[in-house]
Amino acid sequence: MAETLREAVATAARRRRLHMPGHFGRTPPGGEGLPWSLDWTEVEGLDNLADPRGVLKALAERAAAAFGAGRAWVSVQGATLPVLAGIVGVAPAGGRLVAERLAHRSVLAAALLADLDVDWLPARWDQDWGIALPTDPAAWAAHGPADVAVVTLPTYEGLAHPAAAVVAGARAAAPRVFVDAAHGSHWGRAPGLPPHVLAARPDFVAHGLHKTEPVLTQTGLLLARDGEADAERIAEWWRRLGTSSPSYPLLLSIERYIDARRRDAGGWDELCELARGVRAEAERQGFAVLQTEWERAGGVADPAKLTLFGHGPELARRLRAAGAEPEAVGLRWLTMVLGPAQDLTLADWRHLLANLGPPPPPPPLPELPPHPGPMRLSPRAADRARWRRVALREAAGLVAARAVTPYPPGIPVIMPGEEISAAAAAWLAHHVGAGLSVEGVEEGGLWVVA
């Protein structure tokens, strides 16, 4: 057996291809620059991701070793599959989840799939920036008991509380702690980065590899601290929810990353130093930097994220005029991503930042969403019930059938199964009236349980 997937692919390439995919490894006209020759299927020697016994099993074992985990599952469906299979595989039938309201929508999807009740911790907003902050570790004490606690660490903007306090807080609410670290796979690679979240001893960690590391988009990992617990049920759900046609270019990019991660810090030492310089330069130009403010308040922030305060759309316009594209734009902020593979120097960043300044004054922030109403049904019961659409002005007191999510920031104001409060209905009516985009509101109405 070949030791690595790369060797196994080289061996397979010596045989004539009488199998899928339909391009047979040849570049079709106009397809130059795409990885046709690396695109395979589960032929002899290339193993089966749904039931790995050869090179893909060895890859998962190297991935677990690279992160110090007991077991790893390799995903070509981003962090979404690790979140889904991890939560569904671990939660007992009819169980209860406790999760932060700023969780990615895959957490709600897991609750729907496994028919779990959810106890949501309300999002905590920064009133000035209009950004959801990590949940205070002490907030978990008012929630639970549940079967699984789902923590998002770090947030999209790279913010976190110290992981040990968060995991301890979540553990008091539920015996199993699942950390969605989609944005934190690089943590722990260099002394300047925050420690990897497994050091805080949660039970499971989900990563999206492509978000901050040089790995192809749609790659991810599920890590289990203990290699045995629930492993068979997770593996079964991985098979059920995973594609039966995994992408070998994605798998090869995961292999390259895992082997590199075991060897060295991948340039993150230098990146941490660069990030310090970039943040200081932004402040010198008069910008407030979210990550620096958060660290000054005692929090942990990712050097890979840079969020500047100001008129977001105007900052984005200036950045694009300077030939660069941001990661995300809000009303009062703009976020950019830094990484070792970017190959930008401090001088390059100075030049980019010079194009952004002086900070354009931000527009007023619309009132932030009110606290969620009580959960009257499980998300699944609300989803399976008969639905009807009602006008926003008639929605107060009814039970929502679908999530209602203003975008940005993409955090639901109402979840399926939740009683719609008068405050939430009024807040939504105001935002829809102001022309803001709200997923789940159509023609001025939203879906409720009939």
Ligand X SMILES: Cc1ncc(COP(=O)(O)O)c(C=O)c1O
Contact between 78 and ligand X per CB under 6 A: yes
Taking the complex as a whole, how short is the minimal distance between the CB of residue 323 and ligand X, in angstroms? 26
Taking the complex as a whole, how short is the minimal distance between the CB of residue 89 and ligand X, in angstroms? 16
Indicate the residue among 80 and 378 with the shorter CB distance to ligand X: 80
Taking the complex as a whole, how short is the minimal distance between the CB of residue 339 and ligand X, in angstroms? 16
d(CA 381, CA 416): 9
Q: Tokens 């900070």 label which residue?
A: 359
Indicate the residue among 100 and 419 with the shorter CB distance to ligand X: 100
| 339 SS3 class | coil
Taking the complex as a whole, how short is the minimal distance between the CB of residue 328 and ligand X, in angstroms? 10
Contact between 305 and ligand X per CB under 6 A: no
Contact between 156 and ligand X per CB under 6 A: yes
Contact between 302 and ligand X per CB under 6 A: no
Cβ neighbors of 28 (< 8 A, separation 6 or more) are 36
Compute CA 251 distance to the chain's CA centroid, rounded to the nearest angstrom.
19
Taking the complex as a whole, how short is the minimal distance between the CB of residue 78 and ligand X, in angstroms? 2
Write the DSSP string, 354-367. HHHPSPPPPPPPPP
Contact between 104 and ligand X per CB under 6 A: yes
303 burial level (CB within 10 Å; 0-12, 13-18, 19+): buried
d(CA 62, CA 78): 19
Site for ligand X in 207-246 (CB under 6 A): 208, 220
Contact between 100 and ligand X per CB under 6 A: no
286: which 2 tokens?
A: 């008069």
Indicate the residue among 150 and 334 with the shorter CB distance to ligand X: 150
Element (H, E) at 114: helix 105-114
332: which 2 tokens?
A: 């009062």
Choice from 180, 255, 383, 419 touching ligand X (CB under 6 A): 180
Choice from 97, 106, 158, 215 touching ligand X (CB under 6 A): 106
Indicate the residue among 81 and 146 with the shorter CB distance to ligand X: 81
Indicate the residue among 187 and 349 with the shorter CB distance to ligand X: 187
Write the DSSP string, 52-99. --SHHHHHHHHHHHHHT-SEEEEESSTTHHHHHHHHHHHSPTT-EEEE
Indicate the residue among 106 and 247 with the shorter CB distance to ligand X: 106
Choice from 182, 190, 334, 377 touching ligand X (CB under 6 A): 182
Closest CA to 148 of 196, 122, 181, 180: 180
Number of residues that bind ligand X (CB under 6 A): 12
* Residue 219 and residue 249 in contact, taking contact as beta carbons nearer than 8 Å: no
Contact between 152 and ligand X per CB under 6 A: yes
Residue number of the CB closest to ligand X reads 78
Choice from 12, 83, 108, 132 touching ligand X (CB under 6 A): 83
Choice from 58, 69, 79, 223 touching ligand X (CB under 6 A): 79
Cβ neighbors of 23 (< 8 A, separation 6 or more) are 31, 36, 39
Q: Which residues bind ligand X (CB under 6 A)?
A: 78-80, 83, 104, 106, 152, 156, 180, 182, 208, 220
